[in-house]
């Protein structure tokens, strides 16, 4: 049954770890995650919402540097199990790899029609100047927001520092500032000020309501390889010839360019002949790969390298791992890499 906008929303908060729930260890003075069971005690403001809020804490709570595909799957399965009982989901997660998790989750959920909002903070929630409270409170509000009985943002998103982003378009851009994330190639989905302004023209609303389908297979036989001036032939070759390697995200210069030196193109050709999928993304913060625009990318195009267009590296590597995990042929993988699956790429 569809609830009216006024009925009490139910929100599930998953705490996976991250700075938001960290404390300083006494001797080393390093920040480490703690069991953050009492989210509602730490943030009594949550009780002021007229919502049913339930919390699930992952054990162990992780610094997101320790998040693996197994954790993506755990998050996805927990949401899937609780999907019908809740109107929206908030995932508290470390900021370091939040963009990877958000991207991975976006591919995993087919026919998503409820919000999954990832958030965290730069300062622990117990500290005076924490950004965690605002991030959490507004994420909960966004997860509950509806219009005509339907979620206002039925997407996997990242909410941080007053802005809501499509998750698979985000990049962590700053280790210190509260505005830790940006999304250069896609506009914000909402901006929180006195009101939360939803920018519906940029939000994806499913046209046909299909049945939720959660896919949980990832293949980790992949690598991200960043091109730099002076890259060594032997090192480059040995990476491309790694046994069991199935996919490479090649971070190239500008619009998808690499040195035209013969050995580099020959290595790339050899790898493609060995059925390795190579996806070209730019090292730039914004813009897109356009192979063939310069002489320095034409040979990649001819060799069969796939254009990552305006994918972020985070969205690219997780998409590659996801597609490789689906048991597709390399031709199908190349086809879908270029296709817009969840709003991650501008075709």
Which residues, 6 or more positions from 261, have their beta carbon under 8 angstroms from its beta carbon? none
List the end-to-end C-alpha distance of the chain, in Å, as a whole number: 36
Is the Cβ of residue 22 or residue 305 nearer to ligand ASP in the bound state? 22
Closest CA relative to residue 282, chosen from 305, 303, 309: 309
Positive or negative: CA dihedral 122, 204, 248, 231: negative
Stretch that binds ligand ASP, among 74-82, 92-100, 246-254, 304-312 (CB under 6 A): 92-100
Question: Is residue 19 annotated as part of the catalytic site, yes or no?
Answer: yes
Residue 13 backbone phi and psi in degrees, to 5: -105, 125
What's the min distance (Å) between Cβ of 263 and ligand ASP? 38
Q: Determine if 131 is a binding residue for ligand ASP (CB under 6 A).
A: no
CA distance 336 to 329: 11
What's the CA gap between 344 and 322, in Å, rounded?
Answer: 13
Q: Which of 71, 65, 70 is nearest to 15 (CA)?
A: 71
Report the site for ligand ASP in 50-79 (rule: CB under 6 A). Answer: 63-65
Phi, psi of 178 (to 5 degrees): -65, -30
In angstroms, the CA 220 to CA 331 distance is 19
Give the shortest CB-31-to-ligand ASP separation in angstroms: 7
Total residues in contact with ligand ASP, by rule CB under 6 A: 11
Dihedral pair phi/psi, residue 222, rounded to 5°: -135, 165
Q: Does position 139 bind ligand ASP by CB under 6 A?
A: no
**Residue 122 or 282 having the CB closest to ligand ASP:** 122
- The answer to whether 94 contacts ligand ASP (rule: CB under 6 A) is yes
Name which position in 11, 19, 115, 166 contacts ligand ASP (CB under 6 A). 19
Q: Which residues pair with 301 in a beta bridge?
A: none
Catalytic residue among 16, 19, 119, 170: 19
Pick the binder of ligand ASP from 103, 106, 122, 290 (CB under 6 A): 122
Supply the DSSP string of 306-340, one letter for each residue: EE-TT--HHHHHHHHHHHHTTT--HHHHHHHHHS-
Is the Cβ of residue 75 or residue 278 nearer to ligand ASP in the bound state? 75
CB of 12 to ligand ASP, least distance (A): 20
- Distance of closest approach, residue 118 Cβ to ligand ASP, in angstroms: 11
Give the residue, chosen from 9, 13, 14, 18, that forms a contact with ligand ASP under the rule CB under 6 A: 18
Q: Contact between 101 and ligand ASP (CB under 6 A)?
A: no
Q: Is 124 in the site for ligand ASP (CB under 6 A)?
A: no
> Taking the complex as a whole, how short is the minimal distance between the CB of residue 220 and ligand ASP, in angstroms?
20
Q: Supply the residues annotated as catalytic.
A: 19
The footprint of ligand ASP (CB under 6 A) covers 17-19, 63-65, 94-96, 120, 122
């Amino acid at each position: 049954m569809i609830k009216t906008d006024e009925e009490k929303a139910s929100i599930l908060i998953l705490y996976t770890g991250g700075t938001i729930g960290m404390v300083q260890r006494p001797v080393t003075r390093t920040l480490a995650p703690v069991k953050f069971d009492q989210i509602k005690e730490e943030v009594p403001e949550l009780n002021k919402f007229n919502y049913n809020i339930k919390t699930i804490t992952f054990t162990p709570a992780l610094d997101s540097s320790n998040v693996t595909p197994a954790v993506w799957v755990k998050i996805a399965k927990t949401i899937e199990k609780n999907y019908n009982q809740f109107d929206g989901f908030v995932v508290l997660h470390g900021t370091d790899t939040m963009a990877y998790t958000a991207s991975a989750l976006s591919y995993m959920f087919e026919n998503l029609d409820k919000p999954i909002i990832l958030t965290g903070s730069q300062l622990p929630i117990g500290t005076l100047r924490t950004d965690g409270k605002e991030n959490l409170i507004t994420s909960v509000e966004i997860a509950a927001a509806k219009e005509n009985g339907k979620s206002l943002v039925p997407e996997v998103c990242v909410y941080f520092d007053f802005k809501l982003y499509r998750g698979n378009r985000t990049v962590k851009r700053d280790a210190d500032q509260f505005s830790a994330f940006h999304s250069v190639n896609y506009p914000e989905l909402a901006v929180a000020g006195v009101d939360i302004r939803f920018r519906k023209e940029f939000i994806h609303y499913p046209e046909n309501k299909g049945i939720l389908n959660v896919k949980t297979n990832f293949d980790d036989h992949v690598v991200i390889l960043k091109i730099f001036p002076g890259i060594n032939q032997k090192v480059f070759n040995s990476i491309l010839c790694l046994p069991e390697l199935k996919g490479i995200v090649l971070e190239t210069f500008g619009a998808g360019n690499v040195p035209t030196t013969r050995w580099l193109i020959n290595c790339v050709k050899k790898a493609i002949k060995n059925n390795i999928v190579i996806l070209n993304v730019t090292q730039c913060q914004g813009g897109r790969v356009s192979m063939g625009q310069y002489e320095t990318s034409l040979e990649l195009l001819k060799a069969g390298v796939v254009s990552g267009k305006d994918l972020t590296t985070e969205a690219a590597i997780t998409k590659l791992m996801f597609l490789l995990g689906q048991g597709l042929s390399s031709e199908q993988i190349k086809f879908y890499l270029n296709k817009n699956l969840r709003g991650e790429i501008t075709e």
